[in-house]
Amino acid sequence: MSEEPTREAVAESRRQNRTTDFSRRGFIGANSAIVLSALAGCIGSSGDGDVTLDPDNPPEEPDSITVRAWGGVWQDSVEEAIAEPFTEDTGIDVEFDNTERTVMQGDIRTAIEQDREPAVNVMWTVEPAAHEEYRMDLGYPLEPDIVTNHEELFDSAIPNVDDSLPYISLYSYTYALCYNEESLEEVHGSEEPMDSWAALKDDQWENEFAIDANGNGFFPVLSEFADTPLDSDDLDPIWDELEAFEPSIGLLGDDPTLTEGIRTGEVSVAAMLMNNVYEAYEEGEPIGWTIPEEGATVRSDSMYTPRNQSESELYWSQEFINYAADADVQTEWTELLGLPMTNSNTDPLDYMEEDPAYPTSEEDYDGLLTVDLDVYAENSSEWFETFNNTVGS
Amino acid sequence: MSIDNNQRLQNLKWRVMDRLIAAKETLPREWYQSQPNWLGYVLIVPGVLLVSFLFVGLLLLAGYSVLTFDPIEFIVYEFTLENWRNFLTTEAYYRIFARTVGMATLITVLAVAMALPYAYLTVRTENAVLRKLLLVCLFVPFFTGVIVRAYGWMIILGQNGLVNTGLGVFGIGPIRLIGTEHGVIIGLLQIMIPFAIIMIAPAIQNIDRSLELAASSLGSNRLETFWYVVLPLAAPGIAGATIVVFTLTSATYAIPALVGGGRVDFISNVIYRALFNMANYPLAATFSISLVVVSSIIVLGIFRSIGTGTLGVTEGGTHE
């Protein structure tokens, strides 16, 4: 096991790099920034139509940048692992906005339509949504020479698009079958979870299964059972499978709702992010997770920079994303967040290595289920509608 | 003698007054009627603007409902009736609409029925401590947001919650309440009963106490007095409470979403998902317009059948 550098050493290394960069760029860069700022002020535009990000001429640092974030451990881990060293190195404060990602997507879209600056400088969201927002042209492409750490990421963390880098994915997770052992014992007399998702079609699991409010994380499983790809013209076999599972679904909700549902035993099993119950598991609560034989959906979370930012905010927001992809930063982040990172030079934690719920290498992804992101972007609204009409009505 | 003189003087005064009034009646009314108080019209401008914005918003929603949705391009400004076709031909939406209206009606009936005795006791009790206690119990729930109350109910009604723990003492259960209509009814009643009480209490306050005493002295027991005297005279408050509780319930979101566990959707939950999860604004606009239309028809029906109650105003009458 290699010796991990301390955060101070990492920060010092970055500081030296930055000092070297500035000495090289020096006077010309600073003057260019002033000229560009003055020009931008004269034109009075907040749009990014005329922005060109030049890594050799970084613009002046803004006072702060805003990152959309999930609350709780998600924001705390980013604050400690990424924001603090970023602020230490650059002097830029990092603020967080906990607006729900779906609401923020609308806010960004509206801001761009109205030629306003968006509410956030860095959009931290789920990978399918990041791809959808790329397709909607809401993001300003990441500059590969600024987000240099993208070269160290797994291939799966880089979007498969033609000629740009719209976003990068930073860590992965699975919608594992999470369970409450005591509830399992009450329902079927054993603390051991089922080997297959198919068991949940049985009557004894009526109302014992929890799932994301839109069915996120379960569509690929339904697709497996129906033997029908999600991009098929006829999705009826998939919806027939959903009908078969429907009596078992007793709770729909967001992450906190599902987590609480499993912790309190409101339901016995859930298809949910396993790291949401990791803390409870560590505290000795009778909770666990497994990957059934059909597999489980794997997903990532991504970051991108929305359009219509000032050049300064755009540049340093991309620099922030580069920090988030840095191997040393990701090493600390993975400890705080409890999820496997996508930088191939990041050492996964010991408990992740043997657990298929934590994909720590390219090969690990092969046994998990995914959704084609273009198919998701084009069809997910219809899937959600059908799912909710089936389960919610 | 002086009395006769006074009487004559008085008669003369009345005759003069009658003549003057008769003369006034021959003049155009604008000459003697006071000019309208324009300040009053100025003061209602904010209200008119507010309602106007509401109507403009509704018109915009109606416009959105006939636009084309595309998952990537978002809203395409091409006319379509696809959203309405989708809404009118999808059985699930009928079920959700029927549930919304049905449960709103049930909640309204239960809330008004429970609010009546509470409001009556609050108004009529001669025990000051009891009255204050009832008022505190009435207003304290308003200090807590609906979302917080919904999470509270999730804890109380959960499999290992207070209710099931209590039932367990008697060897009952656990029974499932989260994700069921029963749980939603309990959660909504707790929110709506205070609204109903606030609407009914003033109506009871306005009932002349002597009417109840008269009924009592004529042989009615308390229940008969309540049924034949209090209830009819409290009808304006009941009508107001019915309208308020029904409209609030039919547009409720948090309790069905949280206590209902996503399994007992109201139309507001569908609108929320269409907006934020599907980003399908045209479909959300279609649902919204439909909810407004259906609720308005029902409320107008209540207006026609039992009046506007404490929400209404007097007819006003003419100037004369």
Per cent of chain A over pLDDT 70 is 87
d(CA A174, CA A365): 10
Q: At what angle do helices A127-135 and A101-113 cross, to 10 degrees?
A: 20
pLDDT above 80 (res B3):
no
Closest CA to B63 of B75, B53, B72, B51: B75
A250: distance to nearest CA of chain B, Å? 6
Q: Can you tell me the mean pLDDT for A196-207?
A: 95
Q: Is A388's CB within 8 Å of B258's CB?
A: no
Residues in A whose CB is inside 8 Å of some CB of B read 100, 102-103, 105-106, 109, 132, 135-136, 207, 213-214, 249-253, 257, 260, 264-266, 377-381, 384-385, 388-393
d(CA A45, CA A22): 28
| pLDDT reported for residue A65 | 97
B212: distance to nearest CA of chain A, Å? 48
Q: Is B262 on the interface with A (CB under 8 A)?
A: yes
A326: distance to nearest CA of chain B, Å? 32
Residues with Cβ within 8 Å of A168's Cβ and at least 6 positions away in sequence, in order, are: A142, A147, A150, A153, A157, A158, A159, A302, A303, A304, A321, A325, A342
Nearest CA in chain A to B159: A266
| pLDDT reported for residue B27 | 85
| pLDDT reported for residue A13 | 44
> Considering only A213-217, B144-148, B308-312, which range has the smallest mean pLDDT?
B308-312
Q: Can you tell me the mean pLDDT for A150-166?
A: 92
In a domain? residue B26: no
| pLDDT reported for residue A379 | 94
| pLDDT reported for residue B33 | 75
d(CA A191, CA A209): 15
| pLDDT reported for residue A139 | 96
Report residue B306's pLDDT band, with 50, 70 and 90 as the boundaries.
Answer: confident
Contacts of residue B276 in chain A, CB cutoff 8 Å? 100, 102-103, 106
The 10s digit of each residue's pLDDT in B20-54 is 888 888 888 777 777 767 788 888 899 999 999 99
A393: distance to nearest CA of chain B, Å? 6
pLDDT above 70 (res A22):
no
List the single residue in A249, A384, A393 with the smallest CB-CB distance to B96: A393
The 10s digit of each residue's pLDDT in A60-107 is 999 999 999 999 889 999 999 999 999 999 999 999 999 999 999 999
Mutate to test the interface with A, among B162, B255, B277 (most CBs of A within 10 A): B277
Q: Is B265's CB within 8 Å of A257's CB?
A: no
Q: What share of chain A is helix, strand, coil (3-state, %, to 5)?
A: 50, 15, 35
pTM of the shown model = 0.79
Determine the topology of domain A8-170+306-352 in CATH. Answer: D-Maltodextrin-Binding Protein; domain 2 (3.40.190)
Contacts of residue A102 in chain B, CB cutoff 8 Å? 276-277, 279
Q: Is A392's CB within 8 Å of B262's CB?
A: yes
Q: Can you tell me the mean pLDDT for A221-243?
A: 95
pLDDT above 90 (res A225):
yes
Closest CA to A171 of A74, A280, A293, A281: A74
| pLDDT reported for residue A354 | 85
* A217 close to A211: Cβ distance less than 8 angstroms: yes
Contacts of residue B262 in chain A, CB cutoff 8 Å? 213, 251-253, 391-392
> For residues B308 and A285, which has the higher predicted lDDT (pLDDT)?
A285
Q: Is A250's CB within 8 Å of B176's CB?
A: yes
Q: Is A251's CB within 8 Å of B158's CB?
A: no
Q: Can you tell me the mean pLDDT for A207-221?
A: 93
> For residues B162 and B5, which has the higher predicted lDDT (pLDDT)?
B162
The 10s digit of each residue's pLDDT in B197-237 is 999 999 999 999 999 999 999 999 999 999 999 999 999 89
Q: Can you tell me the mean pLDDT for B150-155?
A: 90
Q: Is B147 on the interface with A (CB under 8 A)?
A: no
A–B interface: beta-carbon pairs under 8 A? 95
Mutate to test the interface with A, among B157, B276, B283, B287 (most CBs of A within 10 A): B276
Domain that holds residue B298: 69-132+195-255+263-310
Q: What is the CATH number of the domain that holds B289?
A: 1.10.3720.10
Q: Can you tell me the mean pLDDT for A127-143?
A: 95
In a domain? residue B246: yes
pLDDT above 50 (res A217):
yes
The CA-based diameter of chain B, rounded to the nearest angstrom, is 103
Q: Is A251's CB within 8 Å of B95's CB?
A: no
| pLDDT reported for residue B259 | 93
Q: Is B72 on the interface with A (CB under 8 A)?
A: yes
Residue with tokens 């306005």: B206
Q: Can you tell me the mean pLDDT for A309-320?
A: 96
Q: Is B273's CB within 8 Å of A100's CB?
A: no
CA distances to A228, B40, B313, B316 from B37, in Å: 73, 6, 20, 17
Give chain B's domain count: 1
Contacts of residue A387 in chain B, CB cutoff 8 Å? none
> For residues A41 and A176, which has the higher predicted lDDT (pLDDT)?
A176
d(CA B269, CA A391): 13
In chain A, where the domains are located: 8-170+306-352, 173-299+359-391
Residue with tokens 């590969």: A144
Q: Is B85 on the interface with A (CB under 8 A)?
A: no
| pLDDT reported for residue A50 | 63
| pLDDT reported for residue B40 | 80
pLDDT above 90 (res A44):
no
B90: distance to nearest CA of chain A, Å? 9
Q: Is B131 on the interface with A (CB under 8 A)?
A: no
Return the structure tokens found at B206: 């306005």
> For residues A129 and A9, which has the higher predicted lDDT (pLDDT)?
A129
d(CA A32, CA A23): 15
Q: Exposure of A229 by Cβ count < 10 A (0-12 exposed, 13-18 middle, 19+ buried)? A: middle
Return the structure tokens found at B81: 């009736």
Q: Do domains A8-170+306-352 and A173-299+359-391 have the same CATH topology?
A: yes
pLDDT above 50 (res A27):
no
How far from chain centre, in Å, is Cα A186? Answer: 35
Report residue B95's pLDDT band, with 50, 70 and 90 as the boundaries.
Answer: very high
List the single residue in B176, B265, B280 with the smallest CB-CB distance to A381: B280
The mean of the pLDDT values for chain A is 87
Contacts of residue A260 in chain B, CB cutoff 8 Å? 154
| pLDDT reported for residue A23 | 42
Restricting to B residues 213-242, those with a Cβ less than 8 Å away from any Cβ of A are none
d(CA B278, CA A70): 20
Contacts of residue A207 in chain B, CB cutoff 8 Å? 176, 179
Closest CA to A207 of A250, A164, A156: A250
Q: Is B93's CB within 8 Å of A249's CB?
A: no
In a domain? residue B118: yes
Quote the CATH superfamily of domain A173-299+359-391. Periplasmic binding protein-like II (3.40.190.10)
